[in-house]
Structure 1
Amino acid sequence: MTDKTVVITGTSSGIGLETAVRAARSGWLVVATMRDLGKADALREAAAAAGVAERVEVRRLDVTDPGSVAECLAAVVADHGALHALVNNAGSGHVGTLEIDGVDAARRVMEVNFFGVLNTTAAALPHLRASGGRVLTVTSVGGVVGQPFNEAYCAAKFAVEGYMESLAPVAATVGVRVTLVEPAAVASEFVANVGIPEDRNELLERMGPYTPALDAYLVRTAGAFAHAQSAGDAAAAVVEALDSQEPAVRVQTSDAARTFIAPKLADPDGSRVLGMTSTWVA
């Protein structure tokens, strides 16, 4: 494993940071990317504390900028000779609703959470074909079950789930494995970045007729995150899939995630769907 290189996006905090450190501890050479290198200190400190600083490189990559993506991946392959895995983790949340926020808000969320994933995956695929590598994409249980006031976020995650599930059998014909990783509530800085201001009344006031429903949603969500999975535990599931010889198409990071999606998915690991669609391209 010591010569295998993985690029991970969105590593300044949360699941991405923990995944970078754990992947390095598992033997990967980790290229940890983020849009703002000014936020890299936490990752560098965590890598040093874990004794893997020499196996974690920090590079700039903006998933919404195809030029930034292409430049970063080309440099990785030039420097290390190959790319063996990509972990799509970068993302952003949004709490709101269509009538109040409009379509532009949804476009912004899709740009990061959906098209950002496509930008990185498209650029990585030629290198992953060459190495017989893999793509892991961190989605969410919100990519399986639509959730109130998360319309744009869930739409983006649904899109990623559909795209990657469709890509999986095609990529497999050229030796590339595709896996979706679905956390439920995770205690990380992501919670602070979903568009809820410190003064929740500010958000409630602009919701107009939707205020009572949003108030109830925020109360329920606060309870869910009070028992959230740690970012480290979620990252452990990502790295387990990264290391697996036969990774599932769909992986949940906790029992809570599996329970949450169970009413929607009778095929929680994706094997039935892939078993069917793989025959279409064999």
Structure 2
Amino acid sequence: MTKSESTRTVLITGTSTGIGLATALAAAEAGWQVVATMRDTARSGALLDAAKEAGVADRIEVRPLDVTDAAAAEACVAGVVADHGRLDAVVNNAGSGHVGTLEQEGIEAVRDVMEVNFFGVLHVTKAALAHLRAAHGRVITVTSVGGVIGQPFNEAYCAAKFAVEGFMESLAPVAGSLGVAVSVVEPGPVTSEFVSNVGVGPGAVEAAGPYGPALAAYLERTRGAFANAQTSAQAAAPIVEALQAPRPAFRIQTSAAAAAFAGGKLADLDGSAVQAMTSAWIS
């Protein structure tokens, strides 16, 4: 039996930092052959160094992939199957944060957020599904508690994550009827470069004009939340558990805090509790 016939293969997107890097490493440590993709492979050093230190460098390979490019996603998935003979799982992790509000930003900025966080997930999943059917595999998509509760100044980001959650919740029974398990993973605050990449500079509050006081309050609240964030490795652990589980849950939170936060929305039938909570963040 060749390696490609005996070793389960997982494609993970967005692995240069944060949850993606930690998931790639943990999956390799669990025995998976990991195809770790990232838009810029020049940023692969941290992952490859960590893999070498953990003794799993032979189970991680890095490939370029811009998830917003549907043709690139098709080619990447086809290349993985050609080289490894199979594809058993996809972890859609690539994404980007965004802070802003509708009146003050162009619609193109919103489209860009949707391209990465929503359509990027669809491109990779669509390219992989036929191969995952053959393997009775699984699709695991990292969303966010922001895909459950809409949050101030995260309108575009939450819209994209809500869209992913709705899409995957609808896809799950259809894919499941053919043996493909579908899950979404909802982290809360995680210590990673994600927050530093949302583009909020030192002059953002002043530039927000009438929205400045609310933005200042939101940023202060967010700094406090991320002071108690879980690590990327802690967030990655439930993802790898879902890779390994015979029947993973559809919706998975990565911490007790994330579960409590998401649970508040699911129990809030008229929306008043969530609105009271998020309004307090900006008052």
Report the TM-score when normalising by structure 1: 0.92
The CA deviation at 1:104 is 1.5
Q: Which of 78, 82, 91 is the equivalent residue of 1:78? A: 82
Q: Which of 160, 170, 174 is the equivalent residue of 1:170? A: 174
CA deviation map 1:80-117 (0-9, x unaligned): 00100000000001001000013211111000000000
CA deviation map 1:131-186 (0-9, x unaligned): 10000000000000000000000000000000000000000111100000000000
The CA deviation at 1:205 is 1.9
In structure 2, the partner of 1:206 is 207
Which amino acid is 2:265 matched to? K
In structure 1, the partner of 2:240 is 239
Query: Mind listing any 5+ residue stretches in structure 2 that lack a counterpart?
Result: 269-283
Matches within 5 A, 1:131-210: 131-197=135-201, 200=202, 202-210=203-211
In structure 1, the partner of 2:260 is 259
Matches within 5 A, 1:1-282: 3-197=7-201, 200=202, 202-266=203-267
Measure, in 1, the Cα distance between the counterparts of 2:134 and 2:41.
Answer: 29
Measure, in 2, the Cα distance between the counterparts of 1:255 and 1:205.
Answer: 36
Which amino acid is 1:206 matched to? A
- Relative to structure 2, which stretch is displaced further, 76-85 or 187-196? 187-196
Is the CA contact (8 Å cut-off) linking 1:2 and 1:27 kept in structure 2?
no
Q: Could you list the structure 1 runs, at least 4 aligned residues long, displaced by more than 2 angstroms after superposition.
A: none
Aligned length: 264
Measure, in 2, the Cα distance between the counterparts of 1:171 and 1:186.
Answer: 30
Query: Mind listing any 5+ residue stretches in structure 1 that lack a counterpart?
Result: 268-282
The CA deviation at 1:230 is 0.5
The CA deviation at 1:120 is 0.3
The CA deviation at 1:266 is 4.4
- Relative to structure 2, which stretch is displaced further, 21-30 or 257-266? 257-266
Measure, in 1, the Cα distance between the counterparts of 2:151 and 2:167.
Answer: 20
Measure, in 2, the Cα distance between the counterparts of 1:127 and 1:207.
Answer: 47
When the two chains are superposed, the root-mean-square deviation of aligned CA atoms in Å is: 1.2
Percent of pairs with identical residues: 66
